[in-house]
């Protein structure tokens, strides 16, 4: 009978919490495949098994299942596998019987068998099993054994009373199980960088709450639509997302009225941070995430990063800080956010964008300028004006 077997990195899941984390990983796999013909997902020693609904067209299912499994963080590798019972006394005849027809349907001249025992109580060693099953396949197909460069590798995994055989192992996305690192609030601009920042944090196990600041009706709805598309797309990695669309135009106008142009950008950012933080507290998120990359633009030079961070009380995480634009762009392409990110829009910060932003602002000076504004009211205005959107996947 065919099933899928997924492996996780043992090291990532060590310690006392291991069973909780495996349960979470199983849960995530269930959510990722909830609309597919998967009948059960269970945790076996050292691996996770996905069983299929009887009578399913396996090839067709596998086309889509591969995509789903490869977006579940924490999976190290996975593959389609033939399962068979084995006899704890060491008799492998049922395994060989199941494997025979499957091997015969493969095209190959040379092969090898690699065996891993997940349960050391099984009386034969891995080497014994590989040799015995290899001998059987050689006899059955007339093909030769090649240990260094075979056309076909048959991976056997033996537990106590069951065995799995697969012909190919695909790399999973790696990373940590989503949910194991809590929640963070990602400031999602609609540009190239912040969706990549969100992805990298999800890959470290953090569920993202998205916050987008827009200047509608001073500009079109384009940036909001992009943020909505990006949040929708990123939901495939976390199954449910919340996006807040925060009206920011009025706040910017207030800032423009009392702050000289070179300092406006950092003030906008400081207000964004404060508003995002209120939302974070509401969701019990432990940190904020931005797509800043050191030196990329004026607002991301050291002194500006420092002054912006000063407005935050929660940790402010910048997962892209040491990546350059080429690396970030390549990752945006590989996760599928790039095409949306490059759609032209009028970002809220281009609206009241100064020609020459300051690059060495002093925090005391910035605080003094802010003192002329009613910070609390403006932040409250942003939080209360926010529109909440929710997305689910699949």
342 torsion bin: left (phi>0), alpha (psi -120 to 50), beta (else):
alpha
Closest CB to Mg ion among 106 and 350?
A: 350
What's the angle, vertex CA 344, arms to CA 186 and CA 226, rounded to 5?
40
> Of Mg ion, ligand ATP, none, which one sits near residue 157, judging by CB under 5 to 8 A according to partner kind?
none
Cβ atoms of residues 345 and 212 within 8 Å: no
> Of ligand ATP, Mg ion, none, which one sits near residue 292, judging by CB under 5 to 8 A according to partner kind?
ligand ATP
Q: Which residues bind Mg ion (CB under 5 A)?
A: 189, 191
Residue owning tokens 């932040």:
379
383, two tokens: 């939080």
Cβ atoms of residues 306 and 363 within 8 Å: yes
Task: Using CB under 6 A, pick the residue from 228, 292, 345, 370 that binds ligand ATP.
Answer: 292
Q: What track of x and - describes contact with ligand ATP for positions 169 through 188 (by CB under 6 A)?
A: ------------------xx
CB of 304 to ligand ATP, least distance (A): 9
For residues 297-356, which are near ligand ATP according to CB under 6 A?
Answer: 297, 299-300, 347-349
Radius of gyration of the chain, Cα coordinates, nearest whole angstrom: 27
- The residue of the chain with the least Cβ separation from ligand ATP equals 191
Of 57, 50, 53, the C-alpha closest to 27 is: 50
Does 291 contact ligand ATP by CB under 6 A?
yes
Task: Using CB under 6 A, pick the residue from 164, 167, 213, 239 that binds ligand ATP.
Answer: 213
- Give the 3-state secondary structure of residue 201: helix
What is the C-alpha separation between 165 and 102, in angstroms, rounded? 10
Closest CB to ligand ATP among 342 and 371?
A: 342
Task: Using CB under 6 A, pick the residue from 52, 68, 193, 238 that binds ligand ATP.
Answer: 193
CB of 120 to Mg ion, least distance (A): 54
Question: Number of C-alpha atoms within 13 angstroms, CB side, residue 224?
Answer: 18
Q: Which residues bind ligand ATP (CB under 6 A)?
A: 187-189, 191-194, 211-213, 272, 290-292, 296-297, 299-300, 347-349
């Amino acid at each position: 009978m065919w099933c899928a077997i997924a492996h996780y990195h043992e090291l990532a899941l060590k310690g006392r919490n291991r069973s909780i984390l495996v349960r979470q990983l199983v849960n995530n796999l269930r959510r990722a495949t909830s609309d597919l013909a998967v009948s059960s997902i269970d945790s076996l020693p050292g691996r996770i098994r996905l069983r299929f609904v009887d009578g399913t067209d396996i090839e067709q299912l596998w086309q889509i299942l591969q995509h789903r499994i490869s977006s579940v963080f924490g999976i190290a590798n996975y593959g389609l596998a033939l399962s068979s019972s084995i006899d704890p006394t060491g008799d492998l005849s049922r395994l060989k019987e199941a494997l025979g027809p499957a091997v015969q349907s493969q095209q190959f001249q040379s092969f090898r068998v690699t065996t891993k025992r997940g349960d050391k109580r099984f009386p034969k060693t891995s080497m014994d099993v590989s040799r015995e099953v290899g001998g059987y396949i050689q006899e059955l197909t007339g093909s030769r054994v090649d240990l260094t460069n075979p056309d076909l590798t048959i991976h056997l995994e033996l537990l106590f009373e069951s065995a799995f055989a697969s012909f190919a192992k695909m790399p999973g996305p790696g990373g940590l199980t989503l949910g194991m690192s809590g929640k963070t609030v990602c400031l999602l601009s609609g540009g190239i960088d912040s969706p990549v920042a969100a992805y990298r944090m999800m890959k470290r196990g953090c569920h993202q709450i998205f916050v987008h600041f827009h200047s509608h009706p001073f500009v079109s709805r384009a940036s909001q639509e992009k943020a909505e598309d990006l949040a929708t797309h990123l939901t495939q990695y976390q199954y449910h997302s919340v996006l807040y669309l925060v009206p920011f135009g009025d706040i910017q106008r207030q800032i423009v009225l009392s702050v000289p142009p070179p300092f406006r950008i950092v003030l906008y950012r400081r207000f964004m941070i404060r508003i995002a933080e209120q939302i974070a507290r509401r969701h019990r998120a432990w940190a904020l995430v931005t797509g800043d990359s050191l030196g990329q633009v004026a607002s991301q030079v050291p002194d500006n990063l420092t002054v912006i961070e000063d407005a935050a009380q929660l940790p402010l995480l910048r997962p892209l800080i040491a990546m350059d634009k080429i690396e970030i762009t390549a990752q945006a392409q590989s996760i599928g956010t790039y095409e949306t990110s490059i759609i032209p829009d009028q970002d809220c910060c281009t609206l009241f964008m100064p020609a020459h932003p300051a690059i060495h602002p002093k925090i005391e000076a910035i605080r003094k300028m802010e003192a002329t504004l009613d910070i609390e009211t403006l932040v409250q205005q942003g939080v209360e004006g926010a529109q909440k959107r929710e997305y689910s996947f699949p």
